[in-house]
Amino acid sequence: MARAWYFTAYPQGLPTLDHVALRELPDQPLADGQVRVRNEYLSVDPYMRGRMTNLASYVEGFAIGEPMTGGAVGEVVESKAEGFAVGDKVMHMNGWRDEAVVDTQPGPGGMGTQKLPPMNVPIQTWLHNLGLTGATAYFGLLKTAEAKPGDIVFVSAAAGAVGSAVVQIAKKKGMTVIGSAGGPDKCAWVKELGADACIDYKAGPVLPQLAAVAPDGIDVYFDNVGGDHLDAAFAVARNFARFAICGMIDRYNDAEGGVEFKYLIRTIPARIRMQGFIFTDYAEHMVEFLGEMGPWVMNGDIKMRETVHQGIGSAFDAFLGLFSGGNTGKMLVKL
């Protein structure tokens, strides 16, 4: 019997086991156009916290009493869909379970089941550098922020899945990169990836450290954190700086909400442009992304560390680890 994580209650603050439950998943016969997939890896991502509310967002929220969903890769074990055969490797959005019945046509959110091309990469790569996180990094940096060679780029959560990809893409494109990460080990890895500097936000306030390593200011801020990182970016931004707002993990579990920005007023004299985005905004550019990112990943020019939890029962602990700095690189669950 397959098992899945179910959403059971809306949390206030950090979710706990009072808000989810691991249960058996009822058998589901295949309809035409569907495949049954034995999942091999599950993705857990910070955006999933936003799905644990009843507030409208860019992704449909989890429904109370229903299985949770998210990115996954695995092998087709049964098919009633044209073009999909037993043994095909696929990526889909019915994660949080060890076996999934999925539609092969795109749903309302535009995310269907993708048959993975025969590239010589581990299957879980499609959940990070060749998937959502890699595409988010690529599009946010190059499309939303319009970063260009010679720019000084500041990246928060630079040791995470998205941030580490941003660091490497920016260096490949001829930019100066300053990262922020929590702790000396993570900062050392960010520098190994090519960053020109990395500040340790656990070692002291962000702004003095950022000002010290960016005396000439920054042209681009890629925000994964919000809070004092975003405020520091306002403080040191050069004229016409561009901020790509990818995530604000610093606020996701804050039941009170709100943060004071001392330097927000610099948006006016510095003419700062700040834009939120999601990777599906650029879905028409996926061929461009894979055409450039694919060879970089296959050649080892773009790297990723993986933090892997074992078994479906570990998925919720893996998710919570995202909010305590428990991952370096991509957080995954191996089934």
CB atoms within 10 A of CB 197: 18
CB 156 within 8 A of CB 229: yes
d(CA 138, CA 134): 6
Q: Is 169 left (phi over 0), alpha (psi -120 to 50) or beta?
A: alpha
pLDDT tens string 138-186: 999 999 999 999 999 999 999 999 999 999 999 999 999 999 999 999 9
Averaged in consecutive runs of 10 residues, what is the pLDDT profile of the chain (335 residues)?
Answer: 95 94 94 96 93 81 95 97 96 95 72 85 96 96 98 97 97 98 97 98 97 98 95 98 90 66 96 94 93 95 96 97 92 97
DSSP string, 1-67: --EEEEE-S--SSS--TTSEEEEEPPP-PPPTTEEEEEEEEEE--GGGGGGGSSS--SSPPPPTTSB
Nearest in space to 217 (alpha carbons), one of 199, 197, 229, 235: 235
Tokens encoding 218: 């920054």
d(CA 233, CA 110): 34
The model's pTM is: 0.92
Tokens encoding 317: 């602990």
Beta bridge partners of 296: none
CB-based burial, 111-134: b 16+ in 10 Å, e otherwise: bebbbbeeeeeeebbbbbbbbbbb
